[in-house]
Each structure stands twice: as C-alpha cells, then as structure tokens.
Structure 1
Amino acid sequence: MGLLLSLKKKFGFILKLFFKKDKMRIGIYGPPNAGKTTLANRILRDWTGDVMGVESEIPHETRRAKLREGVKIEVDGKSLTIDIVDTPGIATKIDFHDFLKYGMSEEEAKRRAKEATEGVIEAIKWLDDLDGVLLVMDSTEDPYTQVNVTIVGNIEARGLPLLIVANKIDLPNASPARIKSAFPQHTVVPISALKGINIENLYRAMAEKFG
C-alpha cells in the first residue's frame, strides 16, 4: 500500500495526462459546520434534483462518508462527471462536552464523540481514493487554523487537485479575502452554498480544475 501511494504521488500527474478518467471522484472536506453537506446538497439539487444528507447546526452531524456517483455538471460547453464524497468534519480534538450543549444526554454525547472520531479517521483514509478535493472553509472565521493547515498539507502531499471554497459569503462578517491571504497558492472560490450565491463560478472552477 505504501509503495502504491508513493508511485501514485510520483507519477500521478503523468498518468493523468495519458489515462484521463471518464469521471472524477471528488471529496468535500473541511472542519465541522463549514457547510460541506450544504454544498453537497446544493450540487445535487442543481444537477440531479436530489440531496446528499441532513444539514444541521450540530457539529459532526455527518459521521460517515457518503458517496453519490455519476453527477454530471455542464457549464460553458464543458461537461464534468463526478462521484461526490461528503466526508465527516475534520477536527484535531473532539470533546463529548461539546455535544451536551445541544441537549444530548452524557451517554449520547459520548457515543457521538466516538463516532465523530471514527469519522475523522475515515475521512483521512478516503484521500487515498480521490481524484480531487473541494475544501470548504467558513469565510466568517479565521482560516489559519491547525485543522485547515493539516487538511491542506495532507492534500498537497498526495498531489491532489484542490479548490478552496470560501463558504457563507451571505453573512455580514464574511471575509473570503482572509482565506485567499492564508492560502495564496490555491484557487479560492467565494460562495454561499445555502443561498446559491456565486455557485456558477464554482462549477466553472471545478470544470477547469477537475475536467
């Protein structure tokens, strides 16, 4: 497994030039409550009329990765077929006390914390089976966090194409410019996944980056 990953990182770009895939497997990553499932639902509603999962203010509501295959996006005469993987929120620390704030019993909160920890591990494992990543960040918060830096580092180490999605620009204190400043080496697309603001520009960026 280690040798295969090493070869993939070393020759992945060359292989993609000669063996272009019919569809790309794209993971949606980010910290809890950044809007990953909201974005997955927005993409599916726009192109299939379906949804991926439940949107919730409770952190780590998505505890297991969810896969939706064969989503076809068409923009500016270009078409892109993707498999979408909506992953659990990445966190460096998960405390069951955080779940108690939402009215859960201590037993339920501890169970949710355990499931969330397992979800983080699963999300990291999925990186080995992806062709690209949409990294969702909350543009109302400081982007230069240990979680975001760790995710970006993991993606870069694997040589995966990356688009950073600066979400929640519909909120008054949003600042996509902070995200662009924190990660200037990557393309940042400001959107509101909830309201659909600037979503067409994200689809164009996806067709360019992943097509």
Structure 2
Amino acid sequence: MKSNSLHSRLIREIETEASKCARCGACQSVCPVFQVTKREQGVARGKIALAEAFLRNEVCEGKGLEKIINNCLLCLACKENCPNNVDTELIIRNFRAVLNYYSKSRVSSKNLWGHVFKNSRFLESALKLDNISVFEYLERVVPAESGIRLRYPFSLLFDERLTSGARPLKSRIKPEIPSPDSKGKALFFVGCTTQYLKPEIGLSAIDLMNAIGYCTV
C-alpha cells in the first residue's frame, strides 16, 4: 500500500483508535444512520471494522466502500456514548481522507461543489437552474438519501422535494435600526450553508439575538 508521511500518520491514528473498539454495540443504540438502514455498516462499529479490513488489504477501495463511510452524519453520538472513548470522528475523517487518496478519480462531486461554494453568485444561480443536463448530473452525484436534494427546486427528479427552493438569507432580511433600549450590535457571520441551503437557521439566530436585545449586522 503506497503512502507518504501524512497518510502514514492518518493510518496510524486509525489503527490506534480502532484498537480501542470492543465491538460492544453501545454506538448502535444512538446512531441515527443505523436507525434508518438497520445494517451493521451503518453504525460506527461496522465502519471501524471496515476500516481495519481495508488497512489489512481484505477489502478494496471503491465506490461502495466510499458510500458506506460517507454515510455518517458525524453527529458524534457514538463517540459520546462509547465506554472506551473511541474517537470515531477521527477514524471516519481519517478514513475518508485515505480513501480519497487512493481513489482513481480525482475529479469528484465534492471538488465541484468546493468550487461552487467559493463563488456566491454562481451558487445562487445554481439554486435556480432549470437545465435538464444539471438535473441528470445532480441525480448521479447527490446520494438519494442526502437531505441536500430537498433544498433544490428540481421537481423533475426529486419528488420528495419539501420546499420550492430555499431563498438566500440575505433576500429575507431587512436592515435593522437599533432601538433606543438596544444592548448593542451583534456581528453575525453567515456561511454558505446558512446563506443558501439552510436560511431558516439564520432567521432563527437573528430572532434569538433580537429577543435578548441585540441588533444584528
């Protein structure tokens, strides 16, 4: 197995943490992914076993393995409830990096969205696109179980769509004028996810700050 110093370190960290796992199953009862899939590969214990098997060359890198490892919310419920304090977050993150390193395809949907998120104008336009070629591409790269599908107005493909598409947060709020009894101004940094995909989070945060007496800028 080819490796450089960085990937050797990632692998060592995986092996160290994975060795702590007693396969007791405490993670199974709190894993939201397992509650849906009901499969061992959905829970941290199963993913750790797969990581160890991969490092022993017992399973091969491929889309199937990547899908299993990426099917983790990193909610850390397993980590918080592990009696042996296994750092499952480190294992998952490191293993994803290792799989990406060995992947034969360097151009992925993650790389694409990385570029999209760097350009706010392009991202805003992408949310409103009505182009069948884009539909076909997104159907291939966005997992069927991904909640991201619910945020796009692509009714041709995504029948489970919950909304007509998320309007950017900036288009939903108006400039605030501090009241005389205001405690002051609070600087609210809005990232890409809150701005474009989950604007309701931003609206709730603004309402909360207003409720405790602050004007957001």
- Please state which band the TM-score falls in when normalised by the shorter chain: under 0.3
| Structure in which a larger fraction of residues adopt strand | 1
* Greater C-alpha radius of gyration: 2
Structure with the largest fraction of helix:
2
TM-score normalised by length of structure 1: 0.28
TM-score (norm 2): 0.27
